[in-house]
């Protein structure tokens, strides 16, 4: 866990205002990697709310640029999926001159890295958002063979689910012949349960914050942090 100054890298972290789990990327990060967070207004969790998250994007990204960060990470899985990562990244980089990455592209690349085609999807989304993600995953070549999780109407409700609840949901849904479990949502408090879910189901887990950290480290040519947070972060790139 990295707590302190970014002697190796500083990452600008754009995160929904109602989310409770922005600490997870820092929790999992290797020493010397620092995440500096700016929040974007987000109080509810429907499709329209996700699309509205990019309002004022350039202003929020500019605040992170003031800290001379090496990279800006737009950390909302559903919003980056609906808005399109290319659009989000182009707007951030045009406003700041700093490269950018989004959660949805990190998630898809992590699934591809693990050669995971059949997916168990766990999430705290309203059904309309979950259905949109299932379609997005299918378009990228991933079949959702099972899904589970509560429909949370607010990001506070999403983040208030304890890590052990995600372990319970994963055991209840099961592996169902899947190649991997995807716990989707940067607001899901799941980092400390990733390894336990992998042990229980016998397949790798990709979680939004974990995948984003993995992608950030890859882009900056930094080593994986090692064991503790799932197979994805325990492999060299």
CA distance 122 to 132: 14
Query: What's the distance, Cα to Cα, between the start and end of the chain in Å?
Result: 19
pLDDT at 91: 99
Angle at 215 between CA 157 and CA 33, to 5 degrees: 85
* Structural domain contains residue 136: yes
219 in the same domain as 135: no
In order, the DSSP letters of the chain are ---S--SSEEEEEEEETT-S-THHHHHHSPTTEEEEEEEE-----SHHHHHHTTTTHHHHHHHHHTTT-SEEEE--HHHHHHH-HHHHHHHHHHHHS--EEEHHHHHHHHHHHTT--EEEEE----HHHHHHHHHHHHHTT-EEEEEE----SSHHHHHHS-HHHHHHHHHHH--TT-SEEEE--TT---GGGHHHHHHHHSS-EEEHHHHHHHHHHHHTT-----TTS-GGGGS--
pLDDT at 176: 81
- pTM listed for this prediction: 0.97
173 in the same domain as 194: yes
Q: Are 129 and 80 in contact (CB under 8 A)?
A: no
pLDDT at 25: 98
Residue 178: which CATH number?
A: 3.40.50.1860
194 in the same domain as 170: yes
177-222 confidence digits (pLDDT tens): 999 999 999 999 999 999 999 999 999 999 999 999 999 999 999 9
125 in the same domain as 75: no
111 in the same domain as 32: no
Range of the domain at 18: 9-103+210-230
User: Per-residue pLDDT for 1 more than 80?
Assistant: no
* Structural domain contains residue 237: no
User: Per-residue pLDDT for 236 more than 90?
Assistant: no
165 in the same domain as 195: yes
User: Per-residue pLDDT for 3 more than 80?
Assistant: no
Beta bridge partners of 10: 34
In order, the DSSP letters of 207-235 are EHHHHHHHHHHHHTT-----TTS-GGGGS
57-76 confidence digits (pLDDT tens): 999 999 999 999 999 999 99
Q: Are 82 and 51 in contact (CB under 8 A)?
A: yes
169 in the same domain as 141: yes
202 in the same domain as 110: yes
123 in the same domain as 87: no
pLDDT band at 2 (very low <50, low <70, confident <90, very high): low
User: Per-residue pLDDT for 104 more than 80?
Assistant: yes
State the average pLDDT for the chain: 97
Residue 96: which CATH number?
A: 3.40.50.12500
For residue 114, give both structure tokens: 């693990």
pLDDT at 73: 99
Quote the percentage of the chain above a pLDDT of 70: 98
Beta bridge partners of 102: 74
Spacing of C-alpha 31 from chain mean position: 20
* Structural domain contains residue 91: yes
CA distance 122 to 194: 12
122 in the same domain as 98: no
Number of domains in the chain: 2
pLDDT band at 102 (very low <50, low <70, confident <90, very high): very high
127-155 confidence digits (pLDDT tens): 999 999 999 999 999 999 999 999 999 99
């Amino acid at each position: 866990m990295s707590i302190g100054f970014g002697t190796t890298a500083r990452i600008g972290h754009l995160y929904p205002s109602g989310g409770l789990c922005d600490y997870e990327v820092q929790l999992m990060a290797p020493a010397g990697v620092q995440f500096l967070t700016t929040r974007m207004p987000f109080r509810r969790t429907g499709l329209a709310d996700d699309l509205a998250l990019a309002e004022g994007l350039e202003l929020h990204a500019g605040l992170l640029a003031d800290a001379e960060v090496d990279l800006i990470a737009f950390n909302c899985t559903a919003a980056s999926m609906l808005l399109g990562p290319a659009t989000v990244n182009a707007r951030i980089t045009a406003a700041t001159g700093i490269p950018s990455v989004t959660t949805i592209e990190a998630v898809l690349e992590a699934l591809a890295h693990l050669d995971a085609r059949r997916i168990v999807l766990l999430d705290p989304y309203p059904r309309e958002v979950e259905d949109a993600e299932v379609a997005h995953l299918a378009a990228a070549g991933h079949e959702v063979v099972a899904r589970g999780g509560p429909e949370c109407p607010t990001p506070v409700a999403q983040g208030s689910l304890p890590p052990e609840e995600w372990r319970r949901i994963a055991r209840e849904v099961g592996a169902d012949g899947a190649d991997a479990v995807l716990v989707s949502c940067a607001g899901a408090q799941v980092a400390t349960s990733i390894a336990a879910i992998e042990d229980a189901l016998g397949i790798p887990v990709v979680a939004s914050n974990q995948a984003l950290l993995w992608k950030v480290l890859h882009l900056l040519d930094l080593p994986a942090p090692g064991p503790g947070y799932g197979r994805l972060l325990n492999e060299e790139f």
